[in-house]
Structure 1
Amino acid sequence: MSYTSRRLRLRAQLKRQGAGGTEPSGQDACHCEDSPATDRGEMWRAPMSRRDPRTSWRLAGPLAALLIAAADMTQAAPLRACASDVDFPPFVLTSTSGFAGGTQNTGLAVNVLQRALRRAGREPAIVERLPWRRCQETVAYGQRDIIIDVPTRELDNKRFLATEAYADVHHLYFYSLKRYPKGPPLRSLADLKHHMVCGLLGSHLDAFGIDAEHQDTGSKNERSAIIKVDQGRCDVFIEVREVVDSLSAHDAELRDLFNTPTIRRANLPGETPAGLHFAFSRALPDAPALQRAFNATIRDLIRNNEMKRMTP
């Protein structure tokens, strides 16, 4: 068929289509502007469906890298830990060092804290000293991450995720021979209810079953509390034996005060040792992983007898 004949035939088919005839097909089909394949919307969408996957990767790659970097920065950010603002040697205390006489928080608890964080691949924590209740509340609400030195009797599993005890402490009490010349006035813990009991600022003497009216927790240090006992303003002063031993080893004046001829000490009757724990905020996303890392570190330090070497 000649070129002219083919053109005439095509025109005839187009006329029949316009008059309601069948749509052309095959070689004779018309691919005109109104065809669905070339609709304006399809012209915009079609290139997207045919986009090279490598192009999408180039767009997603920088965003993914930014998200990973942000996650790494969050993971590496130093945690915030807090302890009581009252020194608790040898576990947490403020020491003076350096030419300028700067202070830093140190002690066995701080050493264990930083060792465990290093084992977990974390930066050293920022350690702050706060009033005890404020420390607990800020960790409970996620404003800080870790509480240092929570006694076993104060653990609250609903609010915190606690580690195993890294140390055990024992309580003793001081009394005055002038008031009790026949010897220790306590035969059981129940006897505390009948005495005025001194404790340091922030002490939780109610854990021993002592009513608020029989508590004096206004002493800022051991010296103040011992003086109250010697003057008869308190019947007994409860303190941790390990704290007394540490202070006696490093402070000659306090050692002499503890050994004043009119002052005596005795173990708190019927009391079992109390553990010291770290407690994580439940708002901390990786608290369970940190708990496992801390527990593993604590077990290793105890098994290898390293706690004593880490105690200042």
Structure 2
Amino acid sequence: MRFWVAQVGVFFCLSLAIAQPAIASAPPIKVCDDVAEWPPFTYRQRGPNGEVQAVVQGFSVDVLRQILSARGRSFQIELLPWLRCLREVESGTVHLALNASANAERAKQFRLSLPYYGTTHSYFYSRRRFPKGLRIQHVDELKRYHLCGVHGYSYAAYGLSNNQIDQGAFKFSQVVAKLHAQRCDVGIEKYEAVAGARLVGPDLLADPDLGHGQIPGLDGGEFHMLISRSHPEGEALHALINQGITQLKESGQMRTLWRRYLPNSPYE
């Protein structure tokens, strides 16, 4: 069964509405993202005992709420298998998807918003294996080590093929366990995703035996919203989203939202 979780805009700000693309009063904007979750960007709220709840929250949800509620719009978000989410946006069944990297194919299929956040390509290691620390000075040095990653993830950005990285883990906490067991030397993941894991499970970065560093030689990964080219509102919604992202950045509100979820990021 599919559950739509309404995130309702509660106010209309005239100062932000000036010169906005006109979108008449309409049903809520339909939004999707990956059912696998992507904390701190999109994830299901946890109860006091860690039980998964229906409410979807996160940095990206807050950004979208700020943009739409200031323009008198509400939205509903559903977490789907990622490929299905993309298909529904492409067909126009859903207005937009959150948390997507850009490539040439997606630029043809969707209207890409301006980037609204970036991530830090990072390496992780066990201090039990490297008690004096581990310094990687260039991305090409990764190939010297036995590498671990997460099943199904792409590591092409690091110049690695699937046969160069052990992808037996299904989540990064399992990669950390393999590092400590010395079943691999280095784990690869975006710093922000590892920091956000504390919102749905153990705080991996609180482990004193887990070291990490930024991988030099790689640009930070930028993420966008993907807006449907097929939906009748797509063009106007694209303009509205881009204007909202620009205003949030210029006003400093985007940074405030970011720090709510990642207050101590060393790579901001």
Task: With the length of structure 2 as denominator, give the TM-score of the two structures.
Answer: 0.73
Query: Which is further off, 293-302 or 189-198?
Result: 189-198
User: How far is the alpha carbon of 1:148 from its aligned partner?
Assistant: 0.6
Per-residue CA shift, 1:146-201, capped at 9, x if unaligned? 11111245872111111111112212110234555664363322233454433335
Q: Is the 8 A contact 1:166 1:277 kept in 2?
A: yes
Q: Choose which of 57, 63, 68 in structure 2 pairs with 1:117.
A: 68
1:82 maps to which residue? 32
Distance 2:173 2:202 in 1: 12
Using the TM superposition, give the Cα deviation of residue 228 of structure 1 relative to its aligned residue in structure 2, in angstroms. Answer: 1.5
Alignment of 1:185-204 (within 5 A): 186-204=136-154
* 2:198 is the alignment partner of 1:233: no
Q: What secondary structure, in the 3-state scheme, does the structure 1 residue paired with 2:107 have?
A: coil
Task: Pick the structure with more strand per residue.
Answer: 2
Q: For the Cα contact (< 8 Å) 2:30–2:94, is it kept in 1?
A: yes
Shifted more, 288-297 versus 82-91: the winner is 82-91
Secondary structure in structure 2 of the residue aligned to 1:158: helix
Structure 1 segments unaligned to the other structure (5+ residues): 1-73
Hey, what does 2:80 align to over in structure 1?
Answer: 130
Letter in 1 for 2:253: E
Aligned to 2:7: none
Q: How is 1:124-273 mapped onto 2 (pairs within 5 angstroms)?
A: 124=75, 126-152=76-102, 156-180=106-130, 183-184=133-134, 186-247=136-197, 253-257=203-207, 259-260=208-209, 263-273=210-220
Tell me whether 1:303 sits opposite 2:239 in the alignment.
no
- How far residue 204 of structure 1 moved from its aligned partner, in angstroms, is 2.1
Partner deviation per Cα, 1:184-237 (whole Å, 9 max, x = no partner): 363322233454433335422123221111234453433212112222333321
CA distance in 2, matches of 1:218, 1:301: 40
1:83-98 pair list within 5 angstroms: 83-96=33-46
Q: 1:24-57 CA deviation, whole Å, 9 max, x = no partner?
A: xxxxxxxxxxxxxxxxxxxxxxxxxxxxxxxxxx
Show the counterpart of 2:227. 280
Matched-pair contact (CA < 8 Å) for 1:132–1:202: no
**Per the alignment, in what secondary structure is the counterpart of residue 276 of structure 1?**
strand
In the alignment, structure 2 segments of 5+ residues that lack a partner are 1-23, 262-268
Q: Tell me the distance in 2 between the aligned counterparts of 1:234 and 1:75.
A: 55
Q: 1:255 to 1:177 in 2, by over 3 A?
A: closer
1:294 aligns with 2:244: no
Asked if 1 retains the 8 angstrom alpha-carbon contact of 2:148 and 2:186, the reply is yes
**Match of residue 108 from structure 1:** 59
Change (3 A) 1:248 1:188: same
3-state secondary structure, aligned to 1:175: strand
Report the CA distance shift for 1:189/1:134 in structure 2 as closer, same or farther (over 3 A): farther
Q: Which has the higher helix share?
A: 1
Separation in structure 2 between the aligned mates of residue 137 and residue 285 of structure 1, nearest angstrom: 16
Aligned positions, number = 235
- Whether the 8 Å CA contact 1:195–1:214 is kept in 2: the answer is no
Cα separation, 1, equivalents of 2:114 and 2:238: 9
Question: If the length of structure 1 is used for normalisation, what is the TM-score?
Answer: 0.64
The root-mean-square deviation of aligned C-alpha atoms, in Å, is 3.2
